Chain A
Amino acid sequence: MGTLLIMIVFGLFFAAIFTGGYNNTLIQRARKTTAWDWLTSVDHKKIGVMYFMAGIFYFVVGGLEALFMRYQLLVPGNDAFVGRTFNELLTMHGTTMIFFAAMPLIFGLINVVMPLQIGARDVAFPFLNSLGFWLFFFGALLTNMGWIFGGAPDAGWTSYVQLALNEYSPGPGVDYYVLGLQIAGAGTTMSGINFLVTILNMRTKGMSLLRMPMFTWTSLITSVLIIFAMPPLTIALLLLMMDRLFGANFFDHVMGGSAVLWEHLFWIFGHPEVYIVVLPAFGIMSDIFSTFSKKKLFGYNSMVFATSLIGFLGFMVWVHHMFTVGLGPVSNSIFAIATMLIAIPTGIKVFNWLFTMWGGELTFPVAMKWAIGFIPTFVIGGMTGIMLAAPPADFQYQDSYFVVAHFHYVLIGGTVFALLAGAYYWWPKMFGKMLSERLGNWHFWLFFIGFHLTFFPQHFLGLFGMPRRVFTYEPNVGLEYINQVSTFGAILMGIGTIIFAWNMIQSFRSKKIAAADPWDGRSLEWATQTPVPFYNFAQLPEVRGVDAFWLEKQAGNKEMTPAEPLGKIHMPSGSHIPFLMSIALFVGGWGLIARSWQIGVMGLLAFGVTMFMRSFDRDHGFYVKPKELLDKEAKS
């Protein structure tokens, strides 16, 4: 009850601030603060930075959870984190890394870079963009609240029933997962729609679909996947919530429910989710290979085709997560073959990257190092993926450490390497400063070596008979040293991450402004000034081909040719309503978790009220006049 009281007080406090219950001078002063500026911003670059920083934060949190687990597994019979605690760690590690680290980091980069790459001044729905971020933020916060209030979720990130039902996971743990993810998931869907409309509707003159940079293309396909893959998760979570909170019987076999139903719904979402996080990584890599080879991306059209095909096939392979459920050899064979098919477009991509470098003029700044490291790592991950696609072999791998090794090769070797590459690559555009190459090299090598030391041996752990998600293992069956090597590798990755954090701090403290085009870039984002003005382009550029900026530079132009005369620019105004909406859902969600229906309903009602606020909000933004623009341009 104490928790609830605190929440009510907080709720009133926020309501008062935002509705003007306080005196006006205070409001005026608040509106001038930086915090207010960020809180209410609808600028895609600021929202991108917030996504990115939140992603880094949760990456560190998830990494700590992983280190705790690796510490527990250092020797057999260790008793540092056992039983439920260990299950909380593994659940939150998975949930955090997928939903609260990988996704926001990707959304951060898409938000900052994609509108610049297509020559737009903002995304299609700036308000939704901000709402998407704050929903993600409060959803993630709510899920993590479990650590402090009543226990974190402990049924695995897949949250399989019946383990996730009240009877076997009593307490609020899984409720945090269910409600937190629903709130964050709503935000994700909005962002998906937003990115997609932006890419389809807001491209500048001459930027046809087949002239878009690869990162934009992969953002497009990822957005499509988000739109169609999030609903199954929403439904799965909704049904689980009904079962846990309102006594429904979707999953209780005694009352006719089905555990396999959950697995289907979860993986219909879950498999496309893998591509949601890995496709943008492919895009980042494509851009980086091309830039640092000083060559156009090899086989651009087949790259686009391969990306689309992966996205398409991603929806028809989910049963390969369920080979041991006992669906029968027919289902298993069909889905095995469908899964293997995905190797073909992925193979096309790998060869295209190699041949992008073929005949190039390769330089190796840290961003390129990550991309280089990505190739062998990801290829190994992809190969173990094909090995896993064969059901008879999968019967042995399933739920063993082999699977753990496989998906870390794909998710770290693919997604995380790409995100770190993207961070080094686009850092100057995001923050206007450079990251240190010296520290970056340390970061790369420690993380890269640590990664392989951690996860390569885990293939063998699985083959030697160690199931995943266990807090201990038998002594004297060949598992001790491999586990120790793995833990040692994890520590190296940890040190690498600390160096990265130090690198970021150094960059924030440095006063040196980065060059506008430090890498001799190819796409439109490098044609903007650094730091990027809030309207991105004073005059929208005209695009004449793939690698638009590079073409202009080759033709001897320093800048893009404008597609429009200098005129007044319409920009959206900031809004505090997204923040308010998200707070309302946060409070309502927490009310439901605490089984306090009054607060739950209050939160939902408050959300309804904020929707009216939005509907009746007639602020249509403001115009930037040409004169102001010229002044600004002159100053910089």
Chain B
Amino acid sequence: MADQNTSNTQPPEHKPESKMKHIVSFGAMILLTVAAFVLVLRDVVPVVWVLPLMLGFAVIQVLLQLFTFMHLDQKGSFYYILFIAFGVMVAVISVTGLVFMP
């Protein structure tokens, strides 16, 4: 990344993205959403499991968003992933603090 300042920029060539990938990812998101709704509206699992499972589904869904829709799976995303990860870390610490130390 160091010498972008000077090198004559060669536009990154595009690896063709398939529409299919996004549609599959979208389908998975819908499924996860439905699953979360089912967890809450029907008694399929014990109550203590509802929140962790729901959160798990949400996290998977978000990862799908980030890595397919938001293109974090592409090359050169190292810094982006680093910063989002750090943001998530600070976010988790803050929420934990706010919720568990009232």
Contacts and interface: CB of A to CB of B under 8 A. Distances in A.
Determine whether A and B are in direct contact in the complex, meaning some CB atoms lie less than 8 angstroms apart: yes
Interface of A: 119-120, 200-209, 224, 227-228, 232, 258, 260-261, 264-265, 268, 315-316, 318-319, 327, 331, 540, 563-564
A261 to B, nearest CB: 7
Given A119-B5, A201-B1, 18 more contacts: A120-B5, A201-B4, A203-B5, A204-B2, A204-B5, A206-B2, A209-B2, A227-B83, A228-B86, A232-B94, A264-B94, A264-B98, A268-B97, A315-B93, A331-B101, A540-B5, A563-B3, A563-B6
25 contacts: A200-B1, A200-B79, A201-B1, A201-B5, A202-B5, A203-B1, A203-B2, A204-B5, A204-B6, A206-B3, A224-B83, A227-B83, A228-B86, A228-B87, A232-B94, A260-B101, A264-B94, A264-B98, A264-B101, A265-B98, A268-B94, A315-B90, A316-B93, A327-B101, A540-B5
B12 interface: no
A264 B1 contact: no
Query: 10 nearest interchain CB pairs?
Result: A205-B3, A228-B90, A564-B6, A203-B2, A327-B101, A268-B94, A205-B6, A315-B90, A563-B6, A264-B98
A48 B41 CA distance: 58
B102 interface: yes
Interface residues of B, number: 18
Nearest to A204: B5
A268 B90 CA distance: 9
Interface string B31-68: 00000000000000000000000000000000000000
Contacts, number: 59
A261 B98 contact: yes
B12 to A, nearest CB: 15
B69 to A, nearest CB: 22
Contacts of A268: 94, 97
B3 A260 contact: no
Main SS class of interface, B: helix
Contacts of B94: 232, 264, 268
A200 to B, nearest CB: 6
Interface of B: 1-6, 79, 83, 86-87, 89-90, 93-94, 97-98, 101-102
A331 B93 CA distance: 13
B97 A318 contact: yes
Contacts of A331: 101
A623 to B, nearest CB: 16
Contacts of B102: 258, 260-261
A260 B99 CA distance: 11
Contacts of B79: 200
Contacts of B98: 261, 264-265
Contacts of A224: 83, 86
Contacts of A260: 101-102
Counting chain A CB atoms within 10 Å of each CB, which of B4, B6, B79, B98 scores highest?
Answer: B6
Given A268-B94, A315-B90, A205 B2 contact: yes
A259 to B, nearest CB: 10
Contacts of B1: 200-201, 203
Contact of A207 (B2, B89, B90, B101): B2
A333 to B, nearest CB: 13
Contacts of B97: 264, 268, 318-319
Nearest to A224: B86
Nearest to B8: A564
Contacts of B90: 228, 315
Contacts of A540: 5-6
